[in-house]
Structure 1
Amino acid sequence: MRLLSRMNVVGVVVLMMSLHHISFSSAQECPPTHDLLNSLRQVEKMLAIHEASYQQGLRSLRKKISALHNSTMAIFKSGKNASCPKPETPAHGRRLGRVFSVGHEVHFLCKPGYELIGPRTRVCLESLKWSGQQPMCRRLNITTNSFSPVAPSSSSSFHASAALSASSSSSSASSYSPYSSSSPTSSSPSSSSSVRPSHCTHFLGSTRCTCDVGFTISGRDNNICTDIDECQLFPLGQPGRLCIHQCVNTPGSFHCFCPDGYDLAQGGRSCTDIDECENQMHNCTADQVCVNTFGGFQCVAVECPEMKNATYIKTSPMRCERNPCMMGDTACIQAPNSISFHFLSVVSNMSAPRVLFRVSAARVLGDTLRFGLAGGRGRGHFSVQRSGRQTGTLLLVTPIKGPANLEAEVEMSELERNTLLGRYLTKVTLFVSPYEF
């Protein structure tokens, strides 16, 4: 830059001297025209030479700046902020970790039903390559339903189909030994299986120790891996809980269990009700009706009521019809023309208000149709509202904590000029589960 500036100054001085020579000459005498043109051409050539020299110096300066930038970027890339290429996620598995800089780790685990082949942890080395080989997930030969842990006591047992490991580690599943199946609390593994030595890697004069998934590193020299109790970290009833019912801690993982009458869902954490009635897993007799409930079933027998002045005949498994009344038998006329039975299964503490059942008239003979709550056990939990010209709705107005069995009787009355034409009764029985799922 200094060279260019000096050249520009010299050019300007020469130009000024030339112009001064011309002006001085003109003061003495007017020079010829061709002399003036020659002077201007010399000045033009001199400016062109200076411009070319300036452009060449500018290009040289740009090359030096580019070389300096490239060397700076090379130094920056070779520093601590350099990163390894993004590691692949194994098929049927997951990769944990989003930072791929030097010294950082990524972890791998497999979906339920698969085992991990290869390292669980890989470290980004200073050579910008990952330590170890790329792991893969291999399908297990055993199925979930064949897993049947044995309790220390002969009086305790687990539902075989309701046990599933939330981790794909085969070592965790094989070392699992729960203590009790009745209490929805977490069990602690033995001290020998909850503490393991860490995995240490030596590279470029430094040592880095890691633990398997489900363990945390500890010890004075980071040489001990201690099991993480996931069930204690995410207790039942808290947001983000691991299991909907029961969580049992295992070395490096955890298991979810469901109560009797439920199967573990595909995700391994929630429970799905077993329909004992559909699967023919009930013991109801031929004159009983099987009603599936959340976590079990009920065998109900529908019988027509006995009244003093009215008789009923069972016209369908869930309906009784009144025989015709004798002329002038007011008590018989006041009795319901028909009684229908319905059974509903609900979970505990279901939110309210909620629509449970609707009663509708197929046809209306009179000029008025009325709906009301006639009776039943637990009337404080129910209400009946008109929802249409020919429809009434049974509502749950307060939550019910299970287990409980409640009844509600919905009455539909048909009138003509305030004269009763008929009464129709619907008995709704609620089977409330002890669980909220």
Structure 2
Amino acid sequence: MFASAVNLIALVYLCSLHPTFGQDCPNRQEILGTLKQVQKLLSAHEASCLQSLRNLRKKINLLQSSAGKQIAKPVNSTCPKLDAPINGRKLGKSHSVGHEVHFLCDHGYEIVGSETRVCQESLTWTGQQPTCRDFSECASSPCLNGGTCVDKVNKFSCVCAKGWAGETCQSPVPTFFITRTNTSAGSASAASTLPAATAGVHIRPSRCTTVQGTTHCTCEQGYTISGRDSYSCTDIDECEVFHNGHAGKLCLHKCINTAGGYRCSCPAGYNVTNGRSCKDIDECATMQNNCTKDQMCVNTYGGFQCVQVDCPKIPHATYVKTSPTRCERSPCPLDNRACSQTPNYFSYHYLAVVSNLSAPRVMFRIKALRQLGDTLRFTLLGGGQVRRHFTVQRSDRQTGQLMLVSPVQGPVSLEAEVEMSELEKRVQLGRYLTKITMFVSQYEF
């Protein structure tokens, strides 16, 4: 259609130049119709070209916007810088994706919030910014026998109640018992001794003198005048008089009253020291145990435990005992991935502690002699009772520590397992498991 219209226009142009063409030239009506058709065709082509230009401009703008975003994003993207908490410090300088930053608190403070934060691909940190809270030294109620605890920086002091003394108000203040009975006399006379009362196991005669008509009676140490009979002295039950709760007894363990005094005894596994204290007997050092040659003797407070370390049996790996408390994995074949994912070694440790040990406190430290990867991670395995009493924190970049977070009532045995992992760009290089068994005595001494 467009070609025929062009031919018609050319014919009209020739007719205008050579009128002799005659009847071959188109008339005026045909020319106007042809021009209208050509105008419509040109308008359609113009609209199509304009639309194509608009689409092309949109694509160019999209390409420019996408290229601008890629240029704005740096090649080595990092998370925002993290600051160390007040009264604490930060471990780790790399803020790249996948790297960890660890936080520690100074002595006397405990961490609140995330101990470890990881830089995510969204360039944001996991967890919340931690703070260091002052740990009250009086939280464990160290003052005994009604004493008042005064919290100080990294220490405490006790204001003792009447009749008690010592750093934790643990010692009674000696008291002398003297009773005087006055009788009226008509006239003054020289000093004389009255007849003594009949003596018994818990009864002694008093010592009485009369001076100027007044009689004074006293008792020897450990006895007191009781009742209306001023001539008889009754034995003082020191165990009952000085009893003020379990920790307030004269004796650390058991008090036995005697005529005119008392004596202390200790449970099996302890010796009496200083007349009132109890010292644990080391059955392992003194050979007072029945452990076999294949077992290891572990001394505990008031006894001992016989333990035997057997290397674990794990599929795809073989472990060999290299010391009484350590099992190391034999070299893995290069093509055995399952073997390489098993722990490199198992280490076993045994702790003896008293009952109701104050917390928080460090129980055990695990240190890497050298670091292969870019990240060293410490994890407490297990749950339930283990996590009620323990947590794992860092003391520096290459050391983790097992913390006791709540007191444990004995007798009981608790096991905690700490995993140390070496990572390189979040790929595991090695695993090391440390198993700590804590033997808690039934006694608090």
The TM-score, its normalising length taken from structure 1, stands at: 0.55
After TM superposition, give the deviation of residue 435 of structure 1 in Å. 0.3
Q: What is the aligned partner in structure 2 of residue 382 from structure 1? A: 390
Alignment of 1:11-26 (within 5 A): none
Alignment of 1:26-41 (within 5 A): none
Matching residue within 369, 375, 382 for 1:368: 375
SS in 1 for 2:396: coil
State how many pairs are aligned.
Answer: 258
After TM superposition, give the deviation of residue 331 of structure 1 in Å. 2.1
After TM superposition, give the deviation of residue 205 of structure 1 in Å. 4.4
CA distance 1:381–1:219, shift in 2 (3 Å)? closer
After TM superposition, give the deviation of residue 396 of structure 1 in Å. 0.7
**Counterparts of 2:240 and 2:404, CA distance in 1:** 36
Please tell me whether residue 299 in structure 1 is matched to residue 306 in structure 2: yes
Matching residue within 284, 287, 296 for 1:280: 287
Contact kept, 8 Å, 2:421 with 2:428, in 1: the verdict is yes
Contact kept, 8 Å, 1:376 with 1:408, in 2: the verdict is no
Alignment of 1:308-347 (within 5 A): 308-347=315-354
**Counterparts of 2:210 and 2:411, CA distance in 1:** 60
CA distance 1:340–1:366, shift in 2 (3 Å)? same
CA distance 1:353–1:372, shift in 2 (3 Å)? same
Per-residue Cα deviation, 1:196-235 (whole angstroms, up to 9, x for no partner)? 2212234454432111111111343511111111111122
Contact kept, 8 Å, 2:311 with 2:321, in 1: the verdict is yes
Q: What is the aligned partner in structure 2 of residue 289 from structure 1? A: 296
SS in 1 for 2:340: helix
**Counterparts of 1:321 and 1:210, CA distance in 2:** 75
Structure of higher CA gyration radius: 2
After TM superposition, give the deviation of residue 236 of structure 1 in Å. 5.9
Per-residue Cα deviation, 1:370-412 (whole angstroms, up to 9, x for no partner)? 0001238831211111221100010011111000001000110
Contact kept, 8 Å, 1:289 with 1:299, in 2: the verdict is yes
Residue type of the partner of 2:371? V
Q: What is the aligned partner in structure 1 of residue 260 from structure 2? A: 252
Contact kept, 8 Å, 1:322 with 1:337, in 2: the verdict is yes
Per-residue Cα deviation, 1:155-188 (whole angstroms, up to 9, x for no partner)? xxxxxxxxxxxxxxxxxxxxxxxxxxxxxxxxxx
**Counterparts of 1:415 and 1:316, CA distance in 2:** 27
Q: What is the aligned partner in structure 1 of residue 207 from structure 2? A: 199
Contact kept, 8 Å, 2:249 with 2:255, in 1: the verdict is no
Per-residue Cα deviation, 1:79-103 (whole angstroms, up to 9, x for no partner)? xxxxxxxxxxxxxxxx987x9xxx9
RMSD of the alignment, in Å?
2.9
CA distance 1:236–1:270, shift in 2 (3 Å)? farther
**Counterparts of 1:430 and 1:292, CA distance in 2:** 12
**Counterparts of 1:418 and 1:230, CA distance in 2:** 67
Residue type of the partner of 2:291? C
Q: What is the aligned partner in structure 2 of residue 29 from structure 1? A: none
Where structure 1 has 5 or more consecutive residues not aligned to the other structure, the ranges are: 1-94, 105-130, 133-190
**Counterparts of 1:358 and 1:377, CA distance in 2:** 22
Q: What is the aligned partner in structure 1 of residue 361 from structure 2? A: 354
CA distance 1:377–1:427, shift in 2 (3 Å)? farther
**Counterparts of 1:387 and 1:96, CA distance in 2:** 49
Runs of 4+ more than 4 Å apart: none
Alignment of 1:165-184 (within 5 A): none
After TM superposition, give the deviation of residue 426 of structure 1 in Å. 0.5
CA distance 1:238–1:289, shift in 2 (3 Å)? closer
CA distance 1:359–1:270, shift in 2 (3 Å)? same
**Counterparts of 2:294 and 2:413, CA distance in 1:** 21
Q: What is the aligned partner in structure 1 of residue 233 from structure 2? A: 225
Contact kept, 8 Å, 2:209 with 2:215, in 1: the verdict is yes
Q: What is the aligned partner in structure 2 of residue 421 from structure 1? A: 429
**Counterparts of 2:439 and 2:312, CA distance in 1:** 21
After TM superposition, give the deviation of residue 275 of structure 1 in Å. 0.8
Contact kept, 8 Å, 2:329 with 2:345, in 1: the verdict is yes
Contact kept, 8 Å, 1:382 with 1:396, in 2: the verdict is yes
Contact kept, 8 Å, 1:358 with 1:394, in 2: the verdict is yes
Contact kept, 8 Å, 1:376 with 1:406, in 2: the verdict is no
SS in 2 for 1:387: strand
CA distance 1:404–1:96, shift in 2 (3 Å)? closer
CA distance 1:311–1:297, shift in 2 (3 Å)? same
SS in 2 for 1:290: strand
**Counterparts of 1:273 and 1:405, CA distance in 2:** 18
More helix by share: 1
SS in 2 for 1:279: coil
**Counterparts of 1:411 and 1:350, CA distance in 2:** 25
Contact kept, 8 Å, 2:415 with 2:438, in 1: the verdict is yes
Matching residue within 250, 256, 268 for 2:275: 268
**Counterparts of 2:317 and 2:270, CA distance in 1:** 44
After TM superposition, give the deviation of residue 249 of structure 1 in Å. 1.1
After TM superposition, give the deviation of residue 237 of structure 1 in Å. 2.7
Residue type of the partner of 2:358? S
**Counterparts of 1:412 and 1:251, CA distance in 2:** 61
CA distance 1:208–1:308, shift in 2 (3 Å)? same
CA distance 1:346–1:243, shift in 2 (3 Å)? same
Q: What is the aligned partner in structure 2 of residue 49 from structure 1? A: none
Per-residue Cα deviation, 1:22-47 (whole angstroms, up to 9, x for no partner)? xxxxxxxxxxxxxxxxxxxxxxxxxx
SS in 2 for 1:326: coil
Per-residue Cα deviation, 1:124-168 (whole angstroms, up to 9, x for no partner)? xxxxxxx99xxxxxxxxxxxxxxxxxxxxxxxxxxxxxxxxxxxx
Matching residue within 237, 246, 262 for 2:245: 237
**Counterparts of 2:208 and 2:423, CA distance in 1:** 87
After TM superposition, give the deviation of residue 314 of structure 1 in Å. 0.3
Q: What is the aligned partner in structure 1 of residue 216 from structure 2? A: 208
